[in-house]
């Protein structure tokens, strides 16, 4: 079987539907669906609006009514085959009399898998893989979390041109420009978890919320996670009622991510200090790096990451730059450069080097 131009066009429309503004980024995948008649004309469409709402296929079937019989369902993700808050989409498509199903991305969720097989068993034509990579990009972190059994980790930091995240007296507030800080809040809003160490909470007392241009928290807030063994003072702002907070009593990044994955978290925004950054880098658990570089020099002060034990340039951690953006304020002086990168290797230590066990004090 092959797909038609009408089906390809419908899939592109379904991908657009999947990323409809306002659709939550998790914990469910974003999915769009378009129904086509035998002539390739669109009959109805739908998209998933978040956990607890009907899936995209069901939305499209409801919109089509009796006209769904004999159609081709074009959907960005393989129809599910399980009963959760909603029924199996595979059974809904069978009951509606759909003739053919074309999907993009295979559903690897062990709970939902088997939709394509069930449809074929019922005599429905099934074709998978149309614009699959585009569909994976729509649900990048959801797909990653399923395939790796842990959340995707984005490490964000701000630095001067000479690699300092704070001056020698500890001040760091103006390393990031206002434009960069607003951009950071935008990126925070794309994640479902923000993670820092207990020392960051103790020293910096961050609120760790997503805020708008007038510095007010927005309605939807990611989980605030604190990693480390020491107790948190009850007056810390991270413990207020503006967002949920969890204390992960471990210094092991893998244990922390496992605990967050068990909470159905898929994308961690790592905002801790240099010790926490080192722990995740050494564990090979940084999947993306976002650096805000300010046009200033300090010459001394804290670096973005603690000592990795690298003594020769051959062992340097290499990063692949995927995006560069200049963030400029209204006055022209309030400027940072944002670099988005992916690590191409993890740090290696020689056998004589022993990494410290206190990762995120």
**pLDDT digits over 141-167, tens only?**
999 999 999 999 999 999 999 999 988
Domain membership flag for residue 348 = no
Domain membership flag for residue 144 = no
pLDDT over 90 for what percent of the chain? 78
Q: pLDDT-based confidence at 171, cuts 50/70/90? A: confident
Q: pLDDT-based confidence at 215, cuts 50/70/90? A: confident
Judge if 283 and 235 occupy the same domain: yes
Q: pLDDT-based confidence at 26, cuts 50/70/90? A: confident
At 7 the pLDDT is: 98
pLDDT digits (tens, 9 = 90+) for 89-108: 999 999 999 999 999 999 98
Judge if 119 and 175 occupy the same domain: no
Work out the burial of residue 230: count CB atoms within 10 Å of its CB; fewer than 13 is exposed, 13-18 middle, 19 or more buried. Answer: middle
At 246 the pLDDT is: 98
Look at residue 359 and tell me whether its pLDDT is greater than 70.
no
The total domain count for the chain is: 2
Domain membership flag for residue 178 = yes
Task: Write the DSSP assignment of 46-115 as a string of letters.
Answer: EE--STTSPPHHHHHHHHHGGGGTT-EEEEEEPPP-S-SSS--HHHHHHHHT--EEEEEE----TTT--H
At 278 the pLDDT is: 96
Give the pLDDT mean for 215-220: 86
At 346 the pLDDT is: 67
HSE, side-chain direction, 13 A CA sphere, residue 181: 16
Asked if residue 211 lies in contact with residue 217, where contact means CB atoms within 8 angstroms, the answer is: yes
N residues, the chain? 361
Asked if residue 29 lies in contact with residue 139, where contact means CB atoms within 8 angstroms, the answer is: yes
**Parallel, antiparallel, or unpaired for β 245-248 and 223-227?**
parallel
Distances (CA, A) of 335 to 155, 327, 328: 21, 6, 4
Domain membership flag for residue 222 = yes
Give the pLDDT mean for 290-317: 93
Domain membership flag for residue 358 = no
Q: pLDDT-based confidence at 82, cuts 50/70/90? A: confident
* Domain housing 118: 5-139
Judge if 135 and 157 occupy the same domain: no
Judge if 127 and 261 occupy the same domain: no
At 214 the pLDDT is: 73
The structure's pTM equals: 0.88
What is the rounded CA–CA span in Å between residue 80 and residue 272? 38
At 84 the pLDDT is: 73
Residues with active-site annotation: 57
Mean pLDDT is highest, among 1-10, 280-289, 331-340, for 280-289
Q: pLDDT-based confidence at 110, cuts 50/70/90? A: confident
> Which residues 6+ apart lie within 8 Å of 177 measured at CB?
292, 294, 327, 329, 334, 335, 336
Q: What CATH number does residue 113 fall under?
A: 3.40.140.10
């Amino acid at each position: 079987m092959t797909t038609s131009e009408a089906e390809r066009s419908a899939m592109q429309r379904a991908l657009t539907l999947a990323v409809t503004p306002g659709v939550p980024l998790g914990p469910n995948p974003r999915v769009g669906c378009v129904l086509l008649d035998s002539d390739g004309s669109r009959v109805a469409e739908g998209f998933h609006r978040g956990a607890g709402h009907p899936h995209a296929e069901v939305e499209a079937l409801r919109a089509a009514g009796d006209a769904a019989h004999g159609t081709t369902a074009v959907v960005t993700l393989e129809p599910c085959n399980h009963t959760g808050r909603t029924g199996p989409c595979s059974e809904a498509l069978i009951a509606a009399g759909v003739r053919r199903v074309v999907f993009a991305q295979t559903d690897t969720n062990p709970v939902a898998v088997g939709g394509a097989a069930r449809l074929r068993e019922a005599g429905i034509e099934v074709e998978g893989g149309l614009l699959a990579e585009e569909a994976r990009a729509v649900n990048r972190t959801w797909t990653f979390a399923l395939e790796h059994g842990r959340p995707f980790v984005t490490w964000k930091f701000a630095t001067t041109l000479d690699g300092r995240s704070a001056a020698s007296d500890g001040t760091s507030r103006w390393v990031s420009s206002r434009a960069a800080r607003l951009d950071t809040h935008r990126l925070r809003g794309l994640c479902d978890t923000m993670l820092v160490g207990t020392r960051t909470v103790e020293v910096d007392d961050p609120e760790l919320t997503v805020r708008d241009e007038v510095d007010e928290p927005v309605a939807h807030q990611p989980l605030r996670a604190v990693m480390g063994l020491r107790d948190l003072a009850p007056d810390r702002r991270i413990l207020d009622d503006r967002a949920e907070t969890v204390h992960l009593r471990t210094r092991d990044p893998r244990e922390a991510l496992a605990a967050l994955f068990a909470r159905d978290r898929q994308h961690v925004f790592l905002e801790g200090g240099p010790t926490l950054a080192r722990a995740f880098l050494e564990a090979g658990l940084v999947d993306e790096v976002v650096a805000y570089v300010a046009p200033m020099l300090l010459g001394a002060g804290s670096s973005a990451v603690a000592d990795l034990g690298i003594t020769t340039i051959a062992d340097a951690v290499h990063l692949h730059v995927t995006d560069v953006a200049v963030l400029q304020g209204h006055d022209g002086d309030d400027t940072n450069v944002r670099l988005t990168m992916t690590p191409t290797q993890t740090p290696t230590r020689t056998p004589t080097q022993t990494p410290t066990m206190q990762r995120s004090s």
